[in-house]
Amino acid sequence: MKATLGRRLIYLFMMLVVSVPLITNYTVRPAEMKAANQFYSLVENLSVGPNDIAFVAFDFGPNTKAENEPQAEVIVEHLMRKRIPLAVFTQYAQAEGFLTSIPERVAERLMKEMPGEKWEYGQDWVNLGFRPGGALFVQAVAKSTNIAKELDKDAFGASLLQIPAIQNVRTLENVKLLTQFTGLVGVFDTYIQFFQNENYVPSFGHGCTSITIPEAYIYLDSGQLSGLLEGIAGAAWYSELLLQNNPQRAPDAALVINTALGVAHLAVIALIILGNLVAFVGSQRRPS
């Protein structure tokens, strides 16, 4: 009974502690992330021709939304700021809602920030929807000689040959960047393995959840990844980089979530130290 009560008190304590920065909207400057810097430089220095595009895979659902959604938002924002056309799609059915909401939200925010400028569906981005098939789908795109024709229609049933953002995309060489956000290692592997042809491998940026960070470093070290966003911390630092280079930009949720996460970490460390102290003192008092 005593142990159960203690456990509940810890849950309550954690919730209260984490709520403070969320209620007050308090943010601290996030820690610099080397891999996120790499990702930023990759997008910033990307040179695209009139027929080129960036592919953005939202392979995440509500279960990893906390980390993957802010990552996806900052990358979509950066691509839109650079006026690089992008195609969003998913191999994970539950991500369908994000394919519509994230680009629309980012475009809306940018248009508010820069009155007079326009970001439109079809011109700046295209929603390819849910694409089942796993490795077979990825291979089909990589080997295609007419990607727009191969993918056929967008999520709303319109022919891709009529959509300016993608109508002239022919081969994999036109895909200058692939970015993928997921908590699922299996889906990520299919791009590493098959999104390439004999002569060309597009630059690949990845956003992972905190759980898979140690594994993602292997791909970063081997050069298979050109950039990485490590959980919410990576998204927060990327957001900070966007803010530094666009001072008029309004801060986003990534910074607040990252601050609250930092507070949660401090609380966990404090509780571990306290728990060990209590256990140590208790063992000293107990008769041997």
Partner 1 sequence: MNISWEAATVLIGGVATLAIYSFLIKENPFYRFFEHLFIGIAAGFLPVYTIKSFFWPRVLEPMLGYHIQVYPDGTPTAEYDTKILFYILPMLFGLLYYFIYSTRFSWLSKLVIGFSLGYSGGLAFKGFFAEMVPQLTSSFKPLLVPGESGMDWAMSFQNMFFVFTLLAVMYYFFFTFQRKSVAGDGVAASGRWLMMVCFGAFFGSTVMARMALLVERLQFLLHDWFNEISGII
**d(Cα 286, Cα 44) in Å, to the nearest integer?**
63
Per-residue contact track with partner 1, 53 to 92, x per CB under 8 A?
Answer: ----------xxxxx-------------------------
Please, what is the minimum distance in Å from the beta carbon of residue 190 to partner 1?
8
Q: Residue 42 is encoded by which pair of tokens?
A: 């990759």
Q: How far is CA 241 from CA 29, 30, 137, 226, 246, in A?
A: 11, 10, 34, 17, 8
Please, what is the minimum distance in Å from the beta carbon of residue 258 to partner 1?
9
Please give the helix or strand (H or E) that residue 34 lies within, else none.
Answer: helix 34-44
Q: Residue 71 is encoded by which pair of tokens?
A: 């990552």
Candidates 71, 127, 182, 209: give the one binding partner 1 (CB under 8 A).
Answer: 209
Contact status, residue 175 vs residue 57, Cβ threshold 8 Å? no
Please, what is the minimum distance in Å from the beta carbon of residue 74 to partner 1?
15
Candidates 205, 207, 231, 234: give the one binding partner 1 (CB under 8 A).
Answer: 231
Is position 196 an interface residue for partner 1 (rule: CB under 8 A)?
A: yes
Please, what is the minimum distance in Å from the beta carbon of residue 61 to partner 1?
9
Q: Is 9 exposed, middle or buried (0-12, 13-18, 19+ CB in 10 A)?
A: exposed
Candidates 15, 114, 185, 273: give the one binding partner 1 (CB under 8 A).
Answer: 15
Is position 256 an interface residue for partner 1 (rule: CB under 8 A)?
A: yes
Q: Is 148 exposed, middle or buried (0-12, 13-18, 19+ CB in 10 A)?
A: buried
Binding site for partner 1 (CB under 8 A): 8, 11, 14-15, 18-19, 22-23, 63-67, 93-94, 96, 129-132, 135, 152-153, 155, 157, 183, 189-190, 192-194, 196, 209-214, 218-219, 221-224, 231-232, 253, 256-257, 260-261, 264-265, 268
